Amino acid sequence: MLLYLVWLLPLFGAVLLWALGPQLKSWAGPIGSALIGVSFAATAVLWNGATAPHGLHVPLVSWLAGWDFGLQLDRLSLIWSLIITGVGFLIHVYSIGYMDGDRAFARFFAYMNFFVFAMLTLVLSDNVVGLLVGWGLVGLASYFLIGFWFYKPTAVSAARKAFVMNVVGDVAIMFSIFLIVSKIGLTSYDAIFSQLGRSFSSHELFLIALGLFIGCAAKSAQIPLHTWLPDAMEGPTPVSALIHAATMVTAGVYLIARFAPLWSSSPDAQELTGAIGALTALAGAILGCAQWDIKRILAYSTMSQIGYMIMGVGVGAYDAGVFHFLTHAFFKAQLFLGAGIIIHALANEQDVRRMGGLRKTMPFAFVAMATGVLAISGFPGLSGFFSKDAVIYGALETGHPWLYAVGVITAGITAYYMFRLLFVTFFGAYRGAVDPSDLGIRHPELAGTAELAASSGAHPEEEEPHHHAPSWLMSAPVALLIVPTIAIGWLDFGGGDSRWQQFFGGFFPRAHELTANGAVVTHAAPFSEVVSTAIVFALVVIGFAVAYVRYGATPAPREAIARLRTETVRMPGVLANAYYFDAAYEALLVRPAYALGRWFIRVVDPHGIDAGVREVAISAQWLGHLFRSFQTGLVRAYALTIAVGVVCFVAYYALAFTGGAR
Amino acid sequence: MTVTALVLGPILIGLALYAIPRERGGVARIVAAVVAALTFALAAADPNAADASRHWLARPFDASFHLGFGPVSYWIVLLLALATFGGALALSGPRARDVAAQLLVLQGAMNGVFLAKDMLLFALFWDLMLIPVFLVLIQTPHARAAWKYLLYNLCGGLALLLATAAFGAVAGTTDVIGRTGLHVMIGDLWGTWIFAGFAFAFLVKTPVFPFHTWMPDTYADLPPPVVAVVSSVQSKAGLYGFLAVVLPFLGPEAARAQTLMFVLGMIALIYGALASLAERDAKRVVAYSSLSHLGLILLAVFSGSVLAIQGAVVYMVAHGLFSAVLFLVLGAVEQREETRDLTRLGGLGARNPKLAGALMLAALAALGLPGLAGFSGEILILTGVFRAGFVWPAIVALVAIVLASAYMLRLFQTVMNGPEVPDLPERRDMTWTEALAVAPLIAGFVVLGVAPGRVVDVAAGAAHAAVPNAAAFSRAPVAPEDSRVVGSR
Amino acid sequence: MSSALGSYPVAADYAALLPAFVVAIVPLALLFADLFFRGQGALRRGVAVGIAIAGLVAAGVIAAEQYPHDYAAFGGAFIQGGFSIVFSEIVIVATIATLMLSVGVGRDDQVAGTTSLLLWSASGAMLMSGAANLMAVFLGLELLSLALYCLCAMSPRRTARESALKYLILSSMASGFLLYGSALLFGATGSVAFAALAHATVTPLLALGAGLFLVGLAFKLSLVPFHAWTPDVYEGAPLPVTAFMSIATKAGTLAVLARFAYAALPPGHATAILAPLWLLAALSMLVGNLAALSQTDMKRLLAYSGIAQVGYIVTAFAGQTPAGLRYAILYLAGYMFMNLGAFAVVALMARDGDAVVGLPRFAGLAYRRPWLAAAMTFFLIGLAGLPPTIGFTGKILILTTTVSASYAWLAGILIAGTAISAYVYFKIVRVMFAQVDPAHVRDERSRNALPWVAVAVCAFATFVLGLVPLTPSNVLPLVK
Amino acid sequence: MIAFWIMALLMIASAVFTVTARQPVHSVVGLLVNFIALAAMYLTLQAEFLAVMQIVVYSGAILILFVFVIALLSSGTKPFVVGPDRAPRILIPAVVAAVLTLAGITVAALRTPVTVMQTTATNGTTGDANAFGSVANFGAALFTTHLLPFEITAFILMVAVIGVVLIAGDEGPAGIVRRKPKRNVQREPILRRDDKVAR
Amino acid sequence: MSVAPENYVALSAVLFFIGVVGVIARRNPLIMLMSIELLFNASNLALVTYARAWVDNVGHIFAFLVITVAAAEAAIALAIVVVTFRSRRFVDVDEVSALKG
């Protein structure tokens, strides 16, 4: 029963806030947050039930035999639910401060609650259809929140892009559902997994996994369906923190972890998933080095980190992948919230080139960001250190040395661009007053430097950046997040018998024990985890060093500006345009589709189909006039027509019958 | 006599509405709404009302005025009542009285179409259905749409007439709809032609790809209340005809025509989607979108899969619900802004949150958002189609679903989002009557999206009647679970 | 080989002929009564029309009495029975309706004459409906036609005389063909009785005679290509006469055609002999509707529509199935009501009940005279073959018989013709519902309200027949 | 035998003359000749009564009527002008059509020889009381077996009478009444007619 | 009789066709009417011939009735012609073509 509560409270909140938003005024925020908090508490209460062997299970609705839907809470969904509600709660609280004074304060919280509800639907569902429902609903929620400021055309188009790409994922999952149902006619996880071996050929298994993975790729911004994520930063920063960093985008990880038996029994799927994950991790990291918009940097880092997770769960190191999700949820949320504080303080300035030297003016933000950066780049002892190494080593452990290599390199790059962010933002001198063109910013409106006038024009004292300190509503959640960011990693300390391993002990199939044909395959890792950790750490240090040399060593402001300028101008196009993915989609899919549609309605319908009909009608009219013209009004003409008719008659009878008689 | 009342009541009251002076449109509007509500209550009150039958012809074949609920028609009658209710409430303007009257006549005629248990009666109401729509259309400024509508649909109706006559001549009776265990022996030659006649009529009415061009014009020209009813229910008449009239008696012919129908359906799916992606007139966007959606139902009907047909019934009702809402809301928008041009509209959401919300919900249902009715229909249909062995049609349909999200969001965002357009007239948010008009429909497709179980169960009967020989259709051996999946619980 | 002394007619023979005789005698009483009412307009008209209607009703009642009995009167020249009675009743109803329309038409001193001519013409049609030999057919036809020639000229309009002249010349020519055909038939069989024809051996002479005979009938039915006279004559003639012509002539001629096609042809060769008839029907359905597309004068338009409608009726004969005959009669009755209803509406739109009523006069009628527009719409819907009218039911019955008689191609053409006709009829509906400034439309109202009765009755009958299609049961056998 | 051919030629010639004559009056003459020849034909076919009827009714009544009408139309102040009957374009197709008809009819007729019963016809000389075609024989049949057609003709003639009265009396009594006051100024309308003609 | 009835019939056919040509070709209503009389007479000739051939006087009766009808018809026709052309300059049916289309 409590599970229903967990699931429905956010929905109730969403409806309530959406319906009565205007009346509630500033109470909307607290109410929304409170509901999520209650939901979190309830989830926590359910801990024991969830960790029981089969977890909690409650029925919902039934469409037809074999299509009975319910909720289930087991260890996996428990982790996710806790993160969703817990981190969600913090971000709600943060939002009260961040969104304060926004025109649609209540609507924002309605959407946020709705998102939590959708995400819970996704993770709590006990069957593929329910999962798909949640899958679609979170897409909708992210659409709402990306397009929250719907008077901004950029936000609107970004929202649509995100939604459509997610629908691509949805239909891919639908396709897998067809495959499953057309085989076994059932939709619940248990039924599917119990029949995996018997009912499906390995080919079908791969197809199912492929469909599901396309879904993951769309939702978790894996190449090639990642392009919506950076644009999604159009949404308010808390949204980016909750949806596009902590929870929704990691749904792919959840899906693969949920379908672990399927993946484990389809090596091809594992190879594919791992490869795509690694590729995404690397590509995202590289793009992260080329961005100037603070949120876009974080977005690409998110993409890269999710790449890690996908690689982990893909290759079979499920618990490692999930663990990385856990840690990432904390430190990435914290990073975003920290960035949010900065943006909030600088009146929506997002371009790091126009920041700098904020260390002194915003010490709290600096601390928050710094911990986050250290964590994400794997500084020993912090959460990211444990989880990332686990994932990377997992790749090696399951016999994917190339993926391992990619992971290691990516770790280094990650360190580089995260410290780059840190240095450029907080060190050196404040550049907020510098004319954008000096920084090589050609199109400020596109470069995230929104409200230029507000930041520079509205404030005469340009030397002194105006910083209203964040309200406690904003700083408290960040402060709370710092704790797990630092500490949570120790859950996985101690190798095989760590808390984490125990928690998921036997929950996931061990990748190197079970393969498609059940034969035992063991990959001997060439070296131990300690060595691997050392290698990774070395690369991290290198990355840090490069970043420090390029940005950290505080030179005179003028030189810094010059360097930023040259870097901006020299930025290779392939990076500046994110590998031209968007351009390619535009040219290959969008434009042709519109052109074809225009051709249909402008040419085919009027001149193709209707033309035929119109011709018939016209010729009918023409015949009508023709017959009219026969009607000369002359008696003799009529007589003649009669005579002609008679002739035909006579001819017929004479010929037909005399012919017969002859 | 419930069913008789459902048919005759609206028609008579509708004609009686002409007694109200033309100026008192408001009264007529209320009366129409009340009548629609009553029909809904009546139908909902006793779902298993007794058939009403009265003998009509003995020569040249048996025919009777036979009306009764069927597994499909029951839901559609309810849907029609809801749509008419919404349409009646949304009426306005100087011709409100006439339109209200025609709306009721239309409702009665369509009730007749769906309740008819006799093919001849079916054909009768089928042709009767034309008249009110035409009468409304010819009073619109330019009558081109009226002629198009009449030309296409009358040709269809006449083909139906001819086919019905032939069927009666061959089978000796037309009082067959919904009768099970009745074996009509129709020769190959006859069967083919009769099926061709029916199919032409139904394809035109639905409409499906080559015969669709009347639809955008008609939908664009009809006043929103009427188009809401027409698009939500009249477009189902053809598919219902396939389900209830053709498949049970002309199964072999239908199986033979299956490939053709699938091709047409797939073309309609993609064609409609792309067209509405590029269309500039808001109402035409929805019109083309329903071309796409109905193509999906056509696939379901001819897939021969029981599951798919159950889904088809769900989706028919669902489409009826959300297309009605779409047209009603767009009508409200047009009434406010005096334009439907997507290039001129924009930014209405800021001032009209209620309107935006309604349009959003309808659009979401239309693009098949999981949790709303569109989704439940789609997934059942496609699972069935896929299970019957048609992989590529299913994939094409999936592509169409992606496109659907694109054009529906385009429609919504261009109307409601973006910066406000300064030169548009003064706007006010949804009035209470408008809200009341769409509320039941929205509630309908939300409920249907979450728990379509009831509809699915009832539809099972129709599905089994429609595909007595599923094997003739399905390309793959029917999965053994099929029976179990469908076994009505 | 008839003996020199034939059989003397007995009372039963006259009894069988009573309805036609009543209709033919009443005019004498009428003309006589007219002498006493000179110079008092309305009353004079009333008396004339009243007597005529009374006589017609009486005749109708008598005929109804005789319905069950089959009797071959005058040596088989005239066969009284279900068949002829049904047609006679149709003619009678049509005539009564015509009289209702004609009350206001023409000069006071002419009403008696025109009325009696109308009745004689009607009696001619009734005689045709029972005529079972060539002579009776010819004479009935001439009685019908001669009266109509005169009636057509009964209007001050010059076009009336023109129409009369055209009708006269062309119709006489057609009668010539019919007559020559009869002569050849007589030559081929040695008898003028249909019954004898049925058993004759088929020779080219017989076939040719049948052909020329059919030409004569086709002209009277105005089947394409013998239709040319119809629009002109209908347009020129006074409106009531047009209405009468459009039903009575067709009824009588159809009776003869049915008798000829069903009973008077050697069974083996009937199909071959009648083949051209179906072609004519097909042509009529197409040409009639197509030519009506671009008409603007109502009477002319209805003339073309009539051409097409007769095509539908003749289609029912295809295959000479008994059912076909019954449905042809049913549809004829239905057509009578729909068509007379339309004519009555037109009559109500002209002050003297007889004027040139063009399509523009209907503009915005729905807003000026809603009831009239509603009635017209209903009749047009019926003519277009849409429910809930006899037009729909009759059509589907005809379709069924035609299809089951394996004349599917004719059925197809019927469908095509109907599709075209829809535009013709709904064009008028469209005009009536168009929003126009009343100032631009000449709005006349008929002085006498009697046509309203006709409208009401016709509308009622059109609707009821559609739901309850009564078909006469005992229409066969047609000859003895 | 010879008689037949002479008659035939005469009839054809007169018919052609009737159809082609410029002046209606000439046509009447041609028609008269044709009718008389036809009557003779009837005689050769042993239809005495019909022959007489032909002469009386046709030549006697109908043709006279024609002559009257011609006279009527040409009377009055207005000169009677026949429409300029220049060689009508329509003639050729007409002839063609007619020729085809003729061909058809004759072919059909010639292909079906009718059994001729010489004997019954020739016994009993013409003029015999009950001979075939004699008045008695004719009358008996007309008033017994074929009474109905005969009675119908009564109504036909009635129609003719009433109809002609109605048509011809177009101005009718009312018209006469209208003219009455104009009696004294009778010349006026004539003058007016004249300049109408001149115009 | 020595002449085969076919010849009579052929003659009647010739007369008939001359009549048809007359109706079609001439524009003078009176001559048209005369041509129509020719038609009837041709028919009569055929009737009488066959009556002779079959030795059945019904043909005679038919012909007699035709003559009667022709008389009545002529009367009416001439009346109509008179009223139609009294007010016209040319007695020419082509003048009378107001009704057309």
Residues in chain D within 8 Å Cβ distance of E43: none
Confidence grade of residue A450 (pLDDT, cut at 50, 70, 90)? very low
Confidence grade of residue D199 (pLDDT, cut at 50, 70, 90)? very low
Collect the ranges in chain C with pLDDT lower than 50.
1-4
CA D134 to each of CA A19, A650, C405, D127, D161: distance values in angstroms, whole numbers, following the listed order: 111, 35, 50, 7, 30
Say whether pLDDT at A453 is over 70.
no
> Which of the pair, B392 or B144, is modelled with greater confidence?
B392
Nearest to A646 among D88, D101, D111 (CB): D101
Please return the burial class of D190, using the count of CB atoms within 10 Å of its CB with bins 0-12, 13-18 and 19+: exposed
Nearest CA in chain A to C205: A654
Q: Residue C397: how many CB atoms within 10 A of its CB?
A: 27
Cβ pair A273, A372 in contact under 8 A: no
Most confident range (mean pLDDT) of A97-101, A134-138, D184-188 is A134-138
Say whether pLDDT at B478 is over 50.
no
Nearest CA in chain E to A631: E101
Beta strands in C126-232 (DSSP E): none
pLDDT tens digit sequence for D27-62: 899 999 999 999 999 988 888 889 998 998 888 888
Segment (H or E) for A58: strand A56-62
Cβ of A651 under 8 Å from any chain D Cβ? Answer: yes
- Cα distance between residue C450 and residue C455, in whole Å: 9
- Cα distance between residue A645 and residue A655, in whole Å: 15
Cβ pair A311, A407 in contact under 8 A: yes
Longest CA–CA span in chain B (Å) reads: 68
- Cα distance between residue D63 and residue B306, in whole Å: 87
Nearest to B62 by CA among B167, B186, B179: B167
The pLDDT score that the predictor gives to residue B290 is 92
pLDDT tens digit sequence for A549-606: 888 776 677 777 778 888 888 888 888 888 888 888 888 888 999 999 999 988 888 8
> Which two structure tokens, joined as six digits, stand for E73?
């018809």
Confidence grade of residue D128 (pLDDT, cut at 50, 70, 90)? low
Please return the burial class of C279, using the count of CB atoms within 10 Å of its CB with bins 0-12, 13-18 and 19+: middle
A578 conformational bin, left if phi > 0, alpha if psi -120 to 50, beta if neither: left
> Which two structure tokens, joined as six digits, stand for A80?
């996710």
Please return the burial class of B418, using the count of CB atoms within 10 Å of its CB with bins 0-12, 13-18 and 19+: buried
The pLDDT score that the predictor gives to residue D176 is 39
- Cα distance between residue A420 and residue A425, in whole Å: 8
Find all residues with CB under 8 Å of D116, minimum gap 6, and list them: E1, E4, E5, E52, E53
- Cα distance between residue B119 and residue B115, in whole Å: 11
- Burial annotation B301-319 (CB, 10 A radius, 16+ → b, else e): bbbbbbbbbbbbbbbbbbb
Cβ pair C255, C83 in contact under 8 A: yes
Neighbours of chain A (3+ CB pairs under 8 A): B, C, D, E
> Which two structure tokens, joined as six digits, stand for A387?
């989880």
Residues in chain C within 8 Å Cβ distance of A661: 203-204
Cβ of C35 under 8 Å from any chain D Cβ? Answer: no
Cβ pair A311, A403 in contact under 8 A: yes
Nearest to B278 by CA among B267, B268, B289: B289
DSSP three-state, residue B52:
strand
pLDDT tens digit sequence for A64-78: 877 888 888 888 888
Cβ pair D46, D121 in contact under 8 A: yes
Please judge whether D88 and A654 are an interchain contact, meaning their C-beta atoms are less than 8 angstroms apart.
no
Residues in chain C within 8 Å Cβ distance of D146: 6, 74-75, 77, 135
Say whether pLDDT at A504 is over 90.
no
pLDDT tens digit sequence for A376-386: 888 887 888 88
pLDDT tens digit sequence for B288-340: 999 999 999 999 999 888 888 899 999 999 999 999 999 999 998 888 888 88
Angle (CA) B117 B133 C430, round 5°: 130
Cβ of C208 under 8 Å from any chain D Cβ? Answer: yes
Please judge whether B485 and A150 are an interchain contact, meaning their C-beta atoms are less than 8 angstroms apart.
no
The pLDDT score that the predictor gives to residue E38 is 93
Cβ of A136 under 8 Å from any chain B Cβ? Answer: yes
> Which two structure tokens, joined as six digits, stand for A204?
């079908």
Pairing, β B52-57 against β B63-67: antiparallel
Range of weakest confidence among A495-509, A609-623, E4-18, E76-90: A495-509
Cβ of C356 under 8 Å from any chain E Cβ? Answer: no
Mutate to test the interface with A, among B396, B417, B478 (most CBs of A within 10 A): B417
pLDDT tens digit sequence for A311-362: 888 888 888 888 888 888 888 888 888 888 888 888 777 887 888 778 888 8
Provide the H-helix boundaries in chain D: 2-20, 24-44, 48-53, 63-74, 91-111, 118-122, 135-143, 147-168, 172-179, 187-198
How many whole angstroms from its chain centre is CA B195?
Answer: 21
Q: Residue E67: how many CB atoms within 10 A of its CB?
A: 21
CA atoms within 13 A on the CB side of A399: 10
Please judge whether A635 and E99 are an interchain contact, meaning their C-beta atoms are less than 8 angstroms apart.
no
pLDDT tens digit sequence for C153-191: 888 888 888 899 999 999 999 999 999 999 999 988 888
Segment (H or E) for A139: helix A128-146
- Cα distance between residue B165 and residue B163, in whole Å: 5
Looking at residue B173, the DSSP 8-state letter turns out to be B
pLDDT tens digit sequence for B183-228: 666 777 788 889 999 999 999 998 898 899 899 999 998 989 999 9
Confidence grade of residue B100 (pLDDT, cut at 50, 70, 90)? very high
Angle (CA) A271 A277 A278, round 5°: 90
> Which two structure tokens, joined as six digits, stand for A578?
């994110």
- Cα distance between residue A154 and residue B418, in whole Å: 9
Nearest to A643 among D88, D94, D104 (CB): D94
Cβ of B171 under 8 Å from any chain C Cβ? Answer: no
Nearest CA in chain B to A594: B278
- Cα distance between residue A653 and residue D107, in whole Å: 11
Q: What is the length of chain B?
A: 489
Q: Which residues pair with A359 in a beta bridge?
A: none
Cβ pair B130, B150 in contact under 8 A: yes
Cβ pair C399, B164 in contact under 8 A: no
Nearest CA in chain D to E53: D116
Cβ pair A253, A247 in contact under 8 A: no
- Cα distance between residue B207 and residue A627, in whole Å: 35
> Which of the pair, A190 or C285, is modelled with greater confidence?
C285
Q: Which residues pair with B54 in a beta bridge?
A: B65
> Which two structure tokens, joined as six digits, stand for B60?
């040249």
Instruction: Compute the average pLDDT of residues A377-398.
Output: 83
Confidence grade of residue A442 (pLDDT, cut at 50, 70, 90)? low
- Cα distance between residue B323 and residue A565, in whole Å: 54
Arithmetic mean of pLDDT over chain D: 73
Nearest CA in chain C to A662: C204
Nearest to A648 by CA among C212, C223, C409: C212
